[in-house]
Amino acid sequence: MRSNLNGLPGTYWYLWTGMLVNKVGGFGILFLSLYLVNTRGLDPTAAGAVVGLNGLGGAVGVLAGGVLADRWGRRRTLLACHAAASALMFTLAFVSWLPAIAVISCLLGAAQTMAGPAMVAAIVDVVPEHDRTRAFNLQFWAFNLGTAAAALLAGLLAEASFTLLFVVDGAATFATFLVFLLRVPETLPPRAATAGTALPPPGRRGLHTALTDRFFLPFVGLTLLLAVLSSQTSTILPLAMKADGLGPSAYGALMAFAGGLIVAGQLFVPRLIGTRSKAVVLATANALLAVGFTLVAFADAVPLYVVAAVIWTIGSMAAAPPNAEIIAELSPADLRGRYQGVFYLTFPLAGFIAPALGGVGLQRLGDRHWLICGVLGVLAAAGHLLTGRARERRAAELRAVRAGDGTPARAGRLSG
């Protein structure tokens, strides 16, 4: 594929642009819990349950997205899910019946998460392996640039009208659909080109392969703990700030600050983590999230929330590039969508667990809820240190097989 800016392929930059546009306007779910409490009169537990349905739908959508990305194609999957998400968000803007809102929340989760596996699989398809760290870092940078802009804009829109907030979100999603429709080709590799990378026998290859990969699944489980922590910022944190007398604009400003910190610092992350072990980097990242969310237990004003946000944001910045690289290293080329689907399953599951249990935890435990979050971060950090060495050996073996350096006997041993 033709390369342009900074040597990365043109298709990558259109994918990057589409994601940025979508994230700038992607704040509907971010403020759904506040909408349900402030406008619909639900208590935090009920609001958490409705928002949790978004995560439940996302769990189905992300697996479907992974399978469709491999079978149907990356481009078709991206177009279908963005068209559906746009229509659903426009509908949410004008629906007031609570059961309908709950159903839309669930369907939105499915439509929005279908995009993740296809997006990352397409990036892996078009970006050479030596450039993937930079590509994933730029992707995470754009994600957070969009999130920062979205949080700041959404805080102002939520003060004025939740209807307008949902309409703008739907329009941004439709704009992303147009970028992909007009500028992104299909990137799915031909099956013949990927046949040589088959590590289980071809008859057993499919979603089952990713779900039974004994090196990949512990990594997915540890990522789920990280995702549950990260999801606190979009589900439970606004309710905690509301309990401290801080309004939507304060929460929006805090999220914009955290996103701005990532925008300013993310481009330096590859240099900082360099050639360090991915397991050590991920353990450090989870430990920082643990400290940041523990501090929320003691925060009751914006300055203290800012200190906590700085710490957990540094952890998030450190975790993103190695997470993306590990999936690319462990997944066969013709199963990239499925491996991405299983990995991305952690985020909708976290989107269900965090609000469903977090709403109850915040209501019944108060600030002790954040101490429990700290314990989860410490457990995730320890898990990466315990499993990282075996995972990195596996990745090195798979690189040798892909490069043609592994003998047939060795490849057969890996497939077991």
pLDDT at position 196 over 60 = no
- Which amino acid is residue 158, in one-letter code? A
Q: Which of 51-60, 109-118, 133-142, 325-334 has the highest mean pLDDT?
A: 109-118
**What superfamily would CATH give domain 12-182+204-415?**
MFS general substrate transporter like domains (1.20.1250.20)
What is the C-alpha R_g of the chain?
21
- CA nearest to 148, candidates 256, 33, 307, 26: 256
Mean pLDDT of 188-203: 53
pTM of the full predicted structure? 0.71
Binning pLDDT at 50, 70 and 90, where does residue 18 land?
very high
Domain residue ranges in the chain: 12-182+204-415
Q: Give the count of beta carbons closer than 10 Å to the beta carbon of residue 342.
A: 24
Six token digits for residue 280: 């050590």
d(CA 324, CA 147): 19
State pLDDT tens for residues 130-171.
Answer: 888 788 888 888 887 887 777 777 777 777 788 888 998 999
Band of pLDDT at residue 15, cut at 50, 70 and 90: very high
Is 368 a residue whose pLDDT tops 70?
A: yes
